[in-house]
Amino acid sequence: MLEIRNLHATVEGREILNGIDLTIRPGEVHAIMGPNGSGKSTLANVIAGRDGYVVTEGEIRFDGKNLLEMAPETRACEGLFLAFQYPVEIPGVANLYFLKAAVNAVRKYRNEPPVDAMDFWELIHERMELVQMADSMLKRSVNEGFSGGEKKRNEVFQMTVLQPRFAVLDETDSGLDIDALKVVADGVNALRGPERGFLVITHYQRLLDYIVPDYVHVLVNGRIVRSGDKSLALELEEQGYALYNEEPGRARRVAA
Amino acid sequence: MNDSTQALERLATSDYKYGFVTDIEQETVPPGLNEDVIRLISAKKEEPEWLLEWRLEAFRYWLTQPEPNWVRVHYPPIDFQAISYYAAPKQKGDGPKSLDEIDPELRRTYEKLGIPLAEQAMLAGVAVDAVFDSVSVATSYKGKLAEKGIIFCSFSEAVREHPELVKKYLGTVVPYRDNFYATLNSAVFSDGSFVYIPPGVRCPMELSTYFRINASNTGQFERTLIIADEGAYVSYLEGCTAPMRDENQLHAAVVELVALDNASIKYSTVQNWYPGDAQGRGGIYNFVTKRGLCKGRDSKISWTQVETGSAITWKYPSCILRGENSVGEFYSVAMTRDYQQADTGTKMIHIGKNTRSTIVSKGISSGHGQNAYRGLVKILPTAENARNHSQCDSLLMGDQCGAHTFPYIEVQNPTAQVEHEASTSKISEDQLFYCKQRGISAEDAVSLIVNGFCKEVFKELPMEFAVEAQKLIELKLEGSVG
């Protein structure tokens, strides 16, 4: 469902992505690991269409459509979701109101009527239970005054309500304690299904104990230097990334 | 420049939908201002001698006063002799005796503005006084209110029917020597609303005045006086629109509020005078003096304003907190775009013991708009344990606009607690991208963020007005599609 071919991208004129090839089929969960500055978040932002991330070469197709031609909101309406590494605060806008606006924006794009209030209420409460979120979080302004953990939980909550077809989680696990980590994993696992794809970006192997990936890729200096299954994550945990940094030319590539 | 910034830059394109002109036979006094004009206005209103004298005193004093220039707005000098000081729809015979006799053309005007004058068609629970240019053309629900002893009528009618009340309170909060425009208003004021709530009565419905400027080359100088007697409560709403014209028109109103012991007045404004076009031509000069006196102990006056219109807004709804334990509040959203200028804020004058005041001001600037908050918190030596909390937030959209804050704090009693918080922010690219990533369009995202920014103020508005205000802000933001 997501095909990335020879993707090169720059940020402020600096080349960060250096020719990425990655294919994610429906139902698959891919994890991307790599050291700081390797381009993990850049990849997430390029996929979501953030300003300032310039694609200089290559293409991304989403269900066969040219993703790079779409505005960020169109990508979202097409079913792409990004769980932000640093969720943004929007003062004065209630979490619930924001979520409803998002749900209705997507429905409008699909020529569907606005969500029924009762249906929405039921869905919200079901999902809140799933991610163990307090009722009071609905009335609070989007991410305002949330702790780091609450923000990440809110991202996953939004994801489970919006039910995207493809979700990118950008270091959603960083800064979380083990309980919060499980909650994040529960959210992802609840959505996991034959129609959905996930790209889980993480620094640590820990998250992958709970979200078991089908494939693991190692990103170094803007390239995928190695791909494998879950065991690769464990290997990385032990050996670190130094090996790849020193000898990028020797990197093996395994088609996913 | 990226997409979102460009979207913000394009804010200037939505239309002013109240810009039409009503074709109605008008009776207009020729332009110019002298004692004869004032005598004529007074005579037309069949005013008592004392009121004419008061007007003339004000006029003579006005002649000695220079135009104020301390305000942070810019406009060419106003030729006060080129303005007509009185315009009224021509009446057949004695004028309408009831709502049914109103000129159909006028009725249609208010219907177009969404203010039907027939009682059954109105918003449930809102009584309306409709002021068209210089006169009040209709007041609804008068009978029902009279049963409770509430007086809600045009100012002219109050002068005729309740002269003792008018004489007792007129000019007691805003004396005619107060400031240049208040003095001018005192000399030439034409109509406006009058409200009196008797002791112990809680007004059962929102009272509202809808001001409409229609005639060209005229000024609107209305005067509103609201008195809440002991233990009374009233919530009053004010809305305003005007046709689109290339010349600037002057609107210099005076509003006086008096709250006696345990009385409470809530005054809400949604101001949407014609702001001028995208190049800054035309629009209303909104130079208004609004002040409330918390005269009695435990009294409360609360101002809420949403200022979106006018080429220039110059107003400082204020509270004089004289009664012990009295409370003053000011909640404001001022939005400027294109070449609009706003210099607005409040004065909280603490005189009584344990007086408290709250100021929440939200300024939004876009295009070439300039927005200034100017406020004074003054704690007099008599005001033991006075408290004030002020919060002034500015939101900038684009890089051509400006936000300015001029807070003045004078404390003359060491027991006072005064807090001032201020912030200036931009709608960040991060916020826009976050909304867009959730599927929300750039335009809706801007509107969502701006409404969030205004929320603390909007929640103070009565329900229908809050919805209106939110729509108005959305309308003002239209054209920001990214």
- List pLDDT tens digits, range B173-222: 999 999 999 999 999 998 888 999 999 999 988 888 877 666 666 677 88
Both tokens of residue B68?
A: 């104020």
* Whole-angstrom distance, CA of residue B6 vs CA of residue B403: 20
Rounded to two decimals, the pTM is 0.81
Model confidence band, residue B481 (pLDDT cutoffs 50, 70, 90): very low
Give dist(CA B478, CA B482) in Å, integer.
11
Is residue B98 scored above 70 in pLDDT?
no
Q: Are B432 and B8 in contact (CB under 8 A)?
A: no
Which residues does chain A have within 8 Å of residue B438's beta carbon, measured at their own beta carbons? 76, 98, 101-102, 105, 158, 162
Q: Where are the beta strands (DSSP E) in chain A?
A: 2-11, 14-24, 29-33, 53-62, 65-66, 80-83, 90-94, 141-142, 166-170, 197-202, 215-220, 223-228
For the segment B233-252, the average pLDDT, to the nearest whole number, is 76
Contact A24, A67 (CB under 8 A): no
Coil, strand, or helix at residue A87? coil
User: What is the C-alpha to C-alpha distance for residues B375 and B406, in angstroms, rounded to an integer?
Assistant: 6
How confident is the model at residue B14, as a pLDDT?
A: 47
Q: Residues B56, B57, B63, B65: is their CA dihedral positive or negative?
A: negative
Instruction: Decide if pLDDT at B482 tops 60.
Output: no
Written as one letter, the residue type at A206 is R
Cβ contact (<8 Å) for B438 and A102? yes
Helix (H) or strand (E) holding B137: strand B135-139
End-to-end Cα separation, chain A, in angstroms? 13
Q: According to DSSP H, which parts of B46-205 are helical?
A: 49-63, 104-112, 142-146, 155-161, 163-169, 180-188
Q: Which residues of A touch B480 (CB under 8 A)?
A: none
In whole angstroms, give the CA distance from residue A111 to residue A108: 5
Above 70 in pLDDT, residue B96?
no
The chain A residue lying nearest B426, using CA atoms, is A90
Q: Using only the alpha carbons of chain B, give its radius of gyration.
A: 22
Structure-token pair, residue B464: 């229908």
Largest CA distance in chain A: 57
C-beta atoms surrounding B133 within 10 Å = 27
Q: pLDDT at position B145, please?
A: 86
CB contact under 8 A, B448 and A93: yes
Contact A12, A52 (CB under 8 A): yes
List C-alpha distances in Å: A200 to A29, A44, A65, B277: 7, 10, 22, 51
- Best B437, B455, B473, B481 member to test A by mutation, with max A CBs in 10 Å, is B437
| Contact yes or no for B350/B379 (Cβ under 8 A) | yes
CB pairs under 8 A between A and B: 81
Query: How remote is the C-alpha of B67 from its chain's centroid?
Result: 21
Neighboring chain B residues of A50 at a CB cutoff of 8 Å: 433
Please identify which residue in the block is written with the tokens 């219109």: B309
Given a cut of 70, is residue B13 above it in pLDDT? no
Least confident of A111-115, B155-159, B253-257, B437-441: B155-159
pLDDT at B25: 66
pLDDT of residue A238: 80
Rounded-to-5 percentages of helix, strand, coil across chain A: 40, 30, 30
- Per CB-CB distance under 8 Å, the chain B contacts of A89 are 431
Contact B436 A141 (CB under 8 A): no
3-class secondary-structure state, position B375: strand
Residues of chain B contacting A102 with CB distance shorter than 8 Å: 435, 438-440
Average pLDDT, chain B: 82
* Helices and strands counted in chain B (H then E): 11, 23
Instruction: Compare all CA atoms of chain B with the CA of A50 and give the residue at the minimum distance.
Output: B433
Strands A215-220 and A223-228: antiparallel
Q: Does A106 touch chain B (CB under 8 A)?
A: yes
Q: Which of A199-213, B22-36, B100-114 has the lowest mean pLDDT?
A: B100-114
Residues of chain A whose pLDDT is less than 50?
A: 246-256
For A164, name the nearest residue in chain B, comparing CA atoms only.
B438
Q: Closest Cα partner for B191 from B332, B355, B75, B44?
A: B44
Closest of B311, B350, B343, B307 to residue B328, by C-alpha: B350
Chain A residues within 8 A of B453 when measuring between CB atoms: 91-92
Which has the closest alpha carbon to B12: B404, B398, B306, B394? B398
Greater model confidence, B341 or B254:
B254
Structure tokens at A194: 């034959």
Calculate what percentage of chain B has a pLDDT beyond 90: 41
- Measured between beta carbons, the chain B residues lying within 8 angstroms of A49 are 436-437
Nearest-CA residue of chain A relative to B456? A92
Contacts of B256 (CB under 8 A, 6+ apart): B169, B170, B171, B172, B173, B174, B223, B224, B225, B226, B291, B292, B293
Selected residue with higher pLDDT from B128 and B256: B256
Res. B10: pLDDT tops 70: no
Contacts of B441 in chain A (CB under 8 A): 73, 105
Measured in angstroms, the CA of B435 and the nearest CA of chain A are apart by 8
Q: Closest-CA residue in chain B for A144? A: B452
d(CA B447, CA B7): 12
The full length of chain B comes to 482
pLDDT of amino acid B67: 86
Over residues B234-239, mean pLDDT: 87
Average pLDDT (B317-342) is 92
Q: What is the distance of C-alpha B465 from the center of its chain?
A: 14
Contact B431 A90 (CB under 8 A): yes
**Half-sphere exposure of residue A21: CA atoms within 13 angstroms, side-chain side:** 8
pLDDT value for B103:
66
Which of B2, B440, B442 is opposite residue A102, by nearest beta carbon? B440
